[in-house]
Amino acid sequence: LVLGGSALLDAGWGPALRSVADRVLPNPEVTMWAPAPEPGSHASSYADATGAGANYVYLVDAADDRGNVRELQLIFFGRESDGEGWLEIEARGGSGVRYRACDAAEPPAAARRALDR
């Protein structure tokens, strides 16, 4: 198991393992918001499961509706972020398990203030 985990980390799959761990551990799910990351600002990338493309890993500061900020890992599957607008993120632990683009007016004022936007 340790050797298998080490091989996955060496192959660049660490972010995927983090995402899986955040999904299976009993972390509460919370809605957070963040500006979409800039293109090319990804922390890492790794080959997708088909080997035909890449997944891009971003570390973003996100805030909840009370203005509490934490860093989240977001994985963009098969494409980079376009850097446009905001994201509404369903977060568990340190990972965004689902996200969607949203209008800049949608994030609560406390979240925008906390992120200086």
pLDDT value at position 49?
A: 82
Q: Map out the domains of the chain as residue ranges.
A: 2-114
CATH dotted code for 2-114 = 2.40.50.480
Contact status, residue 86 vs residue 34, Cβ threshold 8 Å: yes
pLDDT in tens, the chain (117 residues): 455 555 555 555 566 565 665 556 567 899 999 999 999 999 999 888 888 899 999 999 999 999 999 999 999 999 999 999 999 999 999 999 999 999 999 999 999 999 987
CA distance 61 to 69: 6
Beta bridge partners of 87: 34, 101
Contact status, residue 17 vs residue 55, Cβ threshold 8 Å: no
pLDDT value at position 95?
A: 94
CA distance 10 to 45: 12
